Structure 1
Amino acid sequence: MQIKEVIALLEQWAPRSYAEDFDNTGLLVGDSAKTVSGILVSLDCLEAVVDEAVDKGCNLIVSFHPIIFKGLKKLTGADYVQRAVLKAIKNDIAIYAIHTALDNNWEGVNHQILETLGAQKSSVLIPKAGTLKKLITYAPQQESKALLDALFTAGAGAIGQYSECAFTSEGEGSFKPGADANPALGSKGQRHYEKETRIEVLVPQHCESRVVSALIKTHSYEEVAYDLIPISNTNKQLGMGMIGSFENPLSEAEFLALLKSRMHCGGIRHSKLLGKPIEKIAVLGGSGAFGISAAKAAGVDAYVSADFKYHDFFSAEEQLLLVDIGHYESEQYTKNLIVQYLSKKITNFAVLLSEINTNPIFYL
C-alpha cells in the first residue's frame, strides 16, 4: 500500500477542503508514492515521535497537529520544528497532519470528547458555511431514476441524518442539434421536444467533482445542462464544536469531577459556579475562546474547551459555566480515534498508537 492510498482513506473521512484556512493540513514531509511499512499515529510530531517511528519500523506518521504550521525559511535544526522535520527526512519518514479537517468532522474530535464524558451529541456548535451547493439538472423522464442513483452514490443528496434527498418535477425541454452534434435523441437540424425531469440535489463541497463526473458519465445527452449554485445554508453536520447532553443532569461539582477524571486533567480552570444543574453542554477541542458566544447563544449550561485568557472568563456573565481543561487534555483521545478508523480500513500492516506523551505543560 502506498502512502497516497492511506492519505485517500484519511481524506475520505476528513476531507482537507473542510480544514480551516489558517491551517496546514495534508502531507507535510515525504513522498506519497512510497510503500507504507507501518503507520504511527500521534497528537504531535516531535523529534521523539520520529525516533519512535524509526524504532517501530513505521515510515508514515499521522499527526493530529501539523509540525510545520508557519513557513519554514531554513532547515538548520535550530528549533524543535526543524529538528523533527530534518530527522524525518533523514530517515525517509513521511508526516501527514489532519488537524482542523478532523475538528470539523461530525465524528471527529468533539464527538470523541462527548463520548468520553458519556454525553449524547445533538448538533454542531458552529456549523461551517459555504460548503454546500445545489445541483439542478434535466434528464429524459425514463432516465431520471438511474441518474438519481448515480448522483446519490457519488455523495449528493445528504441532509443531516437523511440521505438520498432530492426534489423532482416534470416538464418539457427542447433543443436543436447542430450539424456536428451527435444527439442521443432527436435529429440534426431539427428542434426536438422531450419530456424531462428536473432534478435538484444538495452537493457537499468535497463531493462536487465526483458528483459532476457521475452526472456527465450517466446522462445520455451529449451536452448536459446543469447548474451548480452556491447556497448560504450551513452544513449541520460539519463545523467547530459540538453540543450534547446528559441523560441525568449533574451538579456543577459532579460535572467538574467527571471532567477531571475522564479527561485526566492536571488542573481545571473555570468561571464562577452558578449553583445550577449541568445537562446541556458544548465542547470544543483545542483553543476554543472564539466559541464562547456561540455556546451562550445555544443556551448550554457549560462550555468546555481550552486556552481561555483572563478576560474570556468575564464573558460567562453568569449565563453558563466556562471550563478550561487544557489544550492537550481536550484533544488527547484524538489519536485513538484516528487509529480506530485506520485499523478498520487497513488490515495488511500495523497502525500503531504513539506511546509518547507530547503534552508540554506540567502541573504541581
Structure 2
Amino acid sequence: MQIANFIAALEQWAPPSLQEDYDNSGLITGNPQWNCKGILVCLDATEAVLAEAYSRGCNLVIAHHPIVFKGLKRITGRNYVERTIIEAIKKDIAIYAVHTNLDNVLNGVNSAIANKLGLVQQLILHPKKNQLKKLFTFVPQADAEQVRDAIFKAGAGHIGNYSETSFNTTGTGTFKPGEGANPTIGSIGNREEVAEMKIEVIFPAWLQNSIIRAMKEAHPYEEVAYDIVSLDNDLQQVGSGLLGNLPEPISEDRFLQLLKKAFGLSVIRHTVLRGKMIEKVALCGGAGSFLTQAAIAGSADAYVTADIKYHEFFDADGHLLLADIGHWESEQFTIDLIHDYLKDKFPTFAVLKTGVKTNPVEYFS
C-alpha cells in the first residue's frame, strides 16, 4: 500500500480545496509513492512524535496541525519546526497534515467535539461560500439515464439529505458534423435534429473534474455540449464551526460541568453567568473567536471554543455564555477521529494513535 492511497482517502473526506488561505494542509515531507509501513496519528508532528513513529515502525505521520505553517528560508535546526523537518527527512518519514479542511466538513473536527457533548441536530455554523456549481448537459433521450447515473456516482446531485437530485427537460438539439467528425448520429455535412434531454445537477466545486470525466465517458456524443455555472448558494455541509442542541436544556453551571467532564478540564475561562438555561450550543475547535458573532446570530445559548483574548470576551455582550476550553483540549479527539476513519477504510493496516501528549500548555492548581 502506497502513502498515496491513504492521502486519497483523507482527501475524499476532507478535500484540500476546503482549507483556508492561510493554511498548509497536505503532504509536507516524504513521497506519496513510498510504500507505507505504518501510520501514526497525532495532533502535532513534534520531534517526540517523529521519534515515536520511528520506534513503532511507522513512516507516515498524519497530523491535524501542519508542522510547517509559514515559509522556511533555512533549515538549520534552530527551532523545533526545523529540527522536526530534518528528522523526518533523515528517517524517511512522511508528514501529512489535514487541518482546516477537516475543520470545514460537517463530519469533521467539530462533530467530534459536538458528539462528546451529546449535541443533536448538528449544522454548520458558518457555511462556506462559492463551493457549489451547476452542470447543464444535453443528451439524446435514450441515453439520458446512463449519463445521469454516471454523474450521480461521481458525486453530483446531493442536496442536504437527498441524493440523485436533478431537473430534466426535453427539447430538440441541432448540429451539423464537419469534416473529420465521427458522429454517433447523422452524417457529415448534413444538419441533424435530435430529441434530447437537458439535465441539470448541482455539485461541490472540488468534484468538477471527476464529474465531467464521468459525464464524457458515459455520453454517446463525440463532442459533449455542457455548461458549468458557479452558484452563490451556501453549501450547508461545508464551513466553519458547528451548531447543535443538547437533548434537554440545562443550567449554565451544569453545562460548565459537562464541559469539564467531557474534555478532562481543570479550568475553563468563561464570561459572566447570565442565569439562563443552555440548550442551543455553538462550537469551534481551536482558535474560534472569529465566529462569536455567527454564534450570536445563530441564537446560541453558549459558544465553546479556544484561544479567546481578553478583549474578545467582551464580544459576547451578554448574548451568550462564551467558554474557552483550551486549544489542545478542544481538538484532542481529532486523533480518534482520524484514526477511526482510516481503520474503517483500511481495517487490516497498522494505524496507530500517538502516545505523546503534545499540549504545550500546563495548568498550575
- TM range, smaller chain: over 0.9
Structure 1 CA distance, aligned partners of 2:62 and 2:160? 29
Cα contact 1:61–1:93 (8 A) shared by 2: yes
Equivalent in the alignment of 1:73: 73
The 4+ residue runs of structure 1 with deviation greater than 4 A are: none
1:115 aligns with 2:154: no
Structure 1 CA distance, aligned partners of 2:169 and 2:107? 35
Pairing of 1:158-169 with structure 2 (within 5 A): 158-169=158-169
Query: Unaligned regions of 5+ residues in structure 2, if any?
Result: none
Equivalent in the alignment of 2:268: 268
TM-score of the aligned structures, taking structure 2 as reference length: 0.98
**Following TM superposition, by how much is the alpha carbon of 1:17 offset from its aligned partner in structure 2, in angstroms?**
1.0
Query: Unaligned regions of 5+ residues in structure 1, if any?
Result: none
Equivalent in the alignment of 1:307: 307
1:20-63 superposed Cα distances (whole Å, 9 cap, x missing partner) = 11100110001111111100000000000000001100000000
- Cα RMSD over matched residues? 0.8
1:246-293 superposed Cα distances (whole Å, 9 cap, x missing partner) = 111110000000001101123111111111100001110000010001
Name whichever of 293-302 and 173-182 sits farther off: 173-182
Equivalent in the alignment of 1:224: 224
Cα contact 1:121–1:242 (8 A) shared by 2: no
**Following TM superposition, by how much is the alpha carbon of 1:317 offset from its aligned partner in structure 2, in angstroms?**
1.2
Equivalent in the alignment of 2:352: 352
Identity across matched positions, percent: 51
**Following TM superposition, by how much is the alpha carbon of 1:236 offset from its aligned partner in structure 2, in angstroms?**
0.1
Equivalent in the alignment of 1:197: 197
Cα contact 1:111–1:121 (8 A) shared by 2: no
1:326 aligns with 2:326: yes
Cα contact 1:140–1:194 (8 A) shared by 2: yes
Q: Helix, strand or coil: the match of 1:312?
A: helix
TM-score of the aligned structures, taking structure 1 as reference length: 0.99
1:287-336 superposed Cα distances (whole Å, 9 cap, x missing partner) = 00100010010001001001111111111111111111011111000010
Cα contact 1:266–1:362 (8 A) shared by 2: no
Cα contact 1:292–1:303 (8 A) shared by 2: yes
Pairing of 1:209-220 with structure 2 (within 5 A): 209-220=209-220
Q: Helix, strand or coil: the match of 1:43?
A: strand
Pairing of 1:1-364 with structure 2 (within 5 A): 1-364=1-364
Structure 1 CA distance, aligned partners of 2:88 and 2:222? 50
Structure 1 CA distance, aligned partners of 2:151 and 2:112? 31
1:150-169 superposed Cα distances (whole Å, 9 cap, x missing partner) = 00000000111111111111
Q: Helix, strand or coil: the match of 1:143?
A: helix
Number of aligned residues: 364
Structure 2 CA distance, aligned partners of 1:356 and 1:270? 29
Cα contact 1:123–1:236 (8 A) shared by 2: yes
1:76-97 superposed Cα distances (whole Å, 9 cap, x missing partner) = 1100101111111111100000
1:57-79 superposed Cα distances (whole Å, 9 cap, x missing partner) = 00000000000000111111100
